[in-house]
């Protein structure tokens, strides 16, 4: 195996002896290259069978990239990569549960609920309990239940430091929620981890099987693991052959349950461990790297790394202060046009005599003024707007990224980008798989797998319209739940038989049993006929030719259910919706070589477990907008980091909590280290927060940046003064 492309520290990690290893890898230090080289090395040189290797990460995109890299490295044994178990924690646990979950009474054909499905289930529970969802919203209960599950706490064990009566209410909602999920044969994301751990803890023979199977474990982004993931790894790594890669300086997901102590205490958990640091950065210029190093040094508790690079010093970091969020957005748009335009031309709008200033005008007013400007000026720009326009021929926009603390900050930026004709995508906004028509088709697919999925049933039972409203749905829902419960409440032998039947991998068997019993349901004649036809359609779909493909099944669904006719209503909106349906069918073609039943299961799992970053479209020539939390693992030539004010970053919630403040510092560090060549930092004097105009103070993050690395623009030139060779921030006087 050729190791010549590795630096000395990377090579040390790759060829290290077996046993526990902690690889502390700074941003842009080649951790993925090192991790994948380690996998290839232990297969080729340590003779570890690939089927005994478990490699875990946090996004499908990362898992795919790692698999491709390992395949390229295994020159002599390219097929070995097919035997690797490689994926996200959630996807691997989902596969384990497909084989083992019947031990807990669930069916192997369970569906995976996303956050939207979870919220709908909790809302129904709140209505039943007469809990005011305005005062105690479903999202709050969902977040608290998720926290409890990450800590592996059942409703009886729940201890989140809450005071009564909220604690009692939460325990009641949590209990009902888990009961509802069980009756629907459904799991949420957190269940995938919690139930896998539960099976390992309660069924030693199952645990021993997987300990024997996974004798060598590798984990990427170890700093992001939560309590459930930590315990899962502790149970599996009985051989203590565990290789973890991470960076405590990039631990930014505490709100999702990640626990930084997992990486900080690795050497305590494994006293015999080898610790290797990757400190050479291949991504950023010296100016950017030195600034990031100063920021992370604000945190006292860390595994110290001193990043360095052989890259050029690079352009100075631009720090600018604008009057408000509109000025911030205009600065970003204007700079992108200037950088991306071949001629590097910048066009400014000049008001006519007696014309008021531009600021504060509506989009229509701005458009009118833009047309006046166009009439007065001859330019190479296409379109209108008071901002300079992006020319039709421009440099690629894929290397431009705008980072912010929260999605709410994107509004003004989006307006400015639109005015400048700059195409963009928002990572974490409305995603393809959240569009109505897509969720409808996915709902039908999930019902083919599991007719007890009440969230999907409610979504599509009257889509398209069949005369089955809320009252009909309530009757059908209760009948389904009672039908399932009758099997559970039977005598022991009957219960086992019923469970076996109900949990069968054959959707046809489940639906045929249900359809026979459905003749007893109490519905109005028209509604009864419509419901019968609906479930007959599902049964026909579930009885699809076993040799047929998933795309063929999806085509049959949209036709058999009348969905195609409903969507293609002749309108422009209908045409657009149908194009989305066709795109979904196109996505399914990647599974076309598998029998439809297996393909459907894998397809639904992949869609359910997509992370935000997995939906980033790298093929389009667009600027990317995203939150700092979504940006980890990515890099761009040009990064605009906006909203650098006290109360935004660091967030106001963190200012009284040292642990949360430390995480905000790490979040800023992640933002800075996304940039390769150019970095623009922006803060404002005024910003509207919850409709109120507030005066801002520059973020404390800005005060530690090395002055020799900086170029100050806008109002920042006045705010940041040099005094006796030291950079200090002058108080703002407005």
Catalytic residue among 114, 117, 188, 221: 221
Provide φ and ψ at 196, rounded to 5°: -65, -45
Angstrom distance (rounded) from CA 139 to CA 119? 6
Catalytic residue among 9, 31, 61, 676: 31
Residue pair 71/620 in contact by the 8 Å Cβ criterion: no
Catalytic residue among 220, 241, 247, 324: 220
Angstrom distance (rounded) from CA 470 to CA 476? 10
Residue 569 falls in the annotated catalytic set:
no
Size (the chain), residues: 734
DSSP state for residue 730 in the 8-state scheme: P
Write the DSSP assignment of 568-608 as a string of letters: -SSSHHHHHHHHHHHHHHHHHGGGTTS-HHHHHHHHHHHHH
Contacts of 297 (CB under 8 A, 6+ apart): 704
Residue 485 falls in the annotated catalytic set:
no
Write the DSSP assignment of 109-160 as a string of letters: T-EEE-HHHHHHHHHHHHHHTT--TTTS-HHHHHHHHHHHHHTT--TTT--S
Catalytic residue among 32, 102, 119, 323: 32
Pairing of strands 424-426, 720-723: unpaired
Cα angle value 707/710/713 (rounded, 5°): 120
**Dihedral of the alpha carbons of 365, 370, 375, 378, in degrees to the nearest 10:** 170
Angstrom distance (rounded) from CA 339 to CA 388? 12
Residue 221 falls in the annotated catalytic set:
yes
Residue with tokens 């309108």: 571
Catalytic residue among 366, 674, 676, 678: 674
Residue 415, number of CB atoms within 10 A of its CB: 19
182-198 core/surface letters (b: 16 or more CB in 10 A; e: else): bbbbbbbbbbbbbbbbb
Residue pair 447/538 in contact by the 8 Å Cβ criterion: yes
Residue 31 falls in the annotated catalytic set:
yes
Q: Which two tokens stand for residue 343?
A: 């001629």
Angstrom distance (rounded) from CA 315 to CA 679? 9
Angstrom distance (rounded) from CA 224 to CA 512? 45
Angstrom distance (rounded) from CA 192 to CA 611? 15
- What ranges in 609-704 are assigned the alpha helix state H? 628-631, 658-672
Element at 560 (helix H, strand E): helix 550-560
Handedness of CA 286, 289, 294, 300 (dihedral sign): negative
Tell me the CA distances in angstroms from 456 to 38, 442, 460, 552, 629, one per residue in order.
Answer: 43, 8, 6, 21, 30
Residue pair 667/628 in contact by the 8 Å Cβ criterion: yes
Bridge partners (DSSP) of residue 720 are: 729
Of 460, 455, 454, 458, which Cα lies nearest the Cα of 440? 460
As a three-state string, the secondary structure of 157-205 is CCCCCCCCCHHHHHHHHHHHHHHHHHHCCEEEHHHHHHHHHHHHHHCHH
Angstrom distance (rounded) from CA 613 to CA 61? 8
Residue 250 falls in the annotated catalytic set:
yes
Angstrom distance (rounded) from CA 201 to CA 10? 36
Catalytic residue among 250, 293, 309, 673: 250
Of 547, 544, 555, 540, which Cα lies nearest the Cα of 594? 547
Residue with tokens 């902690």: 22
Q: Which two tokens stand for residue 612?
A: 């935000």
Residue 446 falls in the annotated catalytic set:
no
Question: Which residues are identified as catalytic?
Answer: 31-32, 220-221, 250, 674
């Amino acid at each position: 195996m050729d190791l010549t492309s590795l630096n000395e520290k990377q090579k040390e990690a790759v060829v290290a002896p077996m046993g526990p290893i902690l690889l502390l890898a700074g941003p842009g230090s080649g951790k993925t290259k090192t991790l994948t080289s380690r996998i290839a090395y232990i297969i080729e040189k340590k003779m570890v069978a690939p089927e005994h290797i478990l490699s875990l990460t946090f996004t499908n995109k990362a898992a795919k990239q790692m698999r491709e890299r390992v395949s390229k490295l295994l020159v002599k044994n390219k097929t070995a990569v097919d035997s690797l178990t490689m994926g996200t924690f959630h996807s691997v646990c989902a596969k384990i549960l497909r084989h083992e979950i019947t031990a807990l009474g669930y069916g192997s054909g369970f569906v995976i609920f996303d956050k939207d499905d979870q919220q709908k289930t909790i809302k129904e529970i709140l209505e039943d309990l007469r809990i005011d969802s305005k005062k105690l919203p479903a999202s709050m209960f969902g977040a608290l239940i998720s926290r409890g599950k990450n800590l592996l706490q059942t409703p009886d064990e729940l201890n989140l430091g809450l005071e009564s009566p909220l604690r009692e209410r939460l325990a009641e909602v949590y209990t009902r929620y888990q009961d509802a999920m069980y009756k629907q044969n459904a799991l949420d994301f957190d269940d995938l981890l919690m139930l896998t751990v539960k099976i390992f803890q309660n069924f030693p023979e199952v645990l021993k099987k997987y300990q024997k199977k996974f004798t060598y474990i590798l984990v990427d982004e170890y700093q992001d693991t939560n309590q459930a993931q930590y315990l899962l790894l502790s149970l599996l790594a009985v051989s203590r052959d565990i290789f973890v890669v991470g960076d405590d300086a990039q631990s930014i997901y505490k709100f999702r349950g990640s626990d930084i102590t997992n990486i900080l205490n690795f050497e305590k958990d494994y006293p015999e461990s080898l610790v290797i640091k990757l400190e050479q950065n291949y991504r950023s210029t010296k100016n950017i790297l030195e600034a990031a190093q100063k920021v992370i040094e604000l945190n006292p508790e860390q595994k110290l790394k001193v990043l360095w690079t052989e890259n050029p010093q690079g352009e100075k970091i631009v720090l600018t202060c604008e009057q408000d969020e509109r000025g911030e957005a205009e600065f970003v748009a204007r700079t992108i046009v200037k950088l991306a335009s071949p001629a590097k031309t910048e066009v400014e709008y000049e008001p006519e005599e007696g014309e008021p200033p531009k600021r504060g005008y509506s989009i229509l007013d701005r458009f009118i003024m833009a047309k006046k400007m166009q009439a007065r000026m001859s330019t190479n720009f296409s379109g209108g707007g008071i901002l300079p326009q992006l020319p039709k021929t421009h440099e690629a926009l894929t290397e431009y990224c705008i980072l912010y603390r929260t999605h709410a900050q994107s509004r003004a930026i989006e307006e400015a980008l639109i005015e400048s004709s700059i195409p963009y995508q928002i990572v974490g906004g409305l995603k393809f798989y959240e569009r109505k028509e897509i969720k409808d088709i996915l709902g039908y697919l999930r019902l083919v797998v599991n007719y007890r999925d009440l969230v999907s049933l409610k979504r599509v039972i009257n889509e398209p319209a069949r005369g089955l409203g809320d009252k009909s749905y309530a009757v059908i829902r209760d009948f389904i739940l009672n039908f399932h419960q009758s099997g559970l409440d039977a005598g022991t032998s009957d219960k086992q038989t019923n469970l076996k039947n109900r949990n069968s991998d054959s959707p046809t068997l489940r639906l045929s049993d249900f359809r026979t019993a459905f003749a007893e349901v109490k519905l109005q004649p028209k509604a009864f006929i419509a419901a019968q036809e609906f479930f007959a359609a599902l049964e026909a779909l579930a009885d699809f030719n076993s040799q047929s493909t998933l795309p063929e099944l999806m085509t049959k669904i949209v036709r058999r259910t009348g969905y195609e006719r409903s969507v293609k209503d002749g309108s422009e909106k209908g045409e657009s919706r149908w194009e989305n349906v066709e795109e979904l069918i196109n996505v399914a073609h990647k599974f076309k070589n598998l029998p439809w039943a297996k393909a459907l299961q894998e397809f639904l799992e992949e869609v359910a477990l997509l992370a935000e970053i997995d939906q980033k479209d790298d093929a389009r020539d667009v600027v990317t907008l995203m939150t700092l939390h979504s940006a980890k693992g990515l890099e761009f030539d040009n990064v605009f980091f906006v909203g650098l004010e006290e109360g935004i970053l660091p967030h106001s919630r963190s200012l009284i909590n040292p642990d949360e403040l430390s995480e905000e510092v790490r979040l800023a560090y992640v933002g800075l280290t996304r940039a390769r060549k150019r970095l623009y930092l922006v803060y404002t004097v005024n910003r509207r927060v919850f409709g109120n105009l507030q005066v801002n103070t520059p973020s404390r993050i800005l005060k530690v940046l090395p002055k020799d690395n900086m170029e100050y623009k806008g109002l920042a030139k006045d705010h940041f003064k040099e005094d006796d060779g030291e950079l200090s921030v002058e108080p703002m006087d407005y």
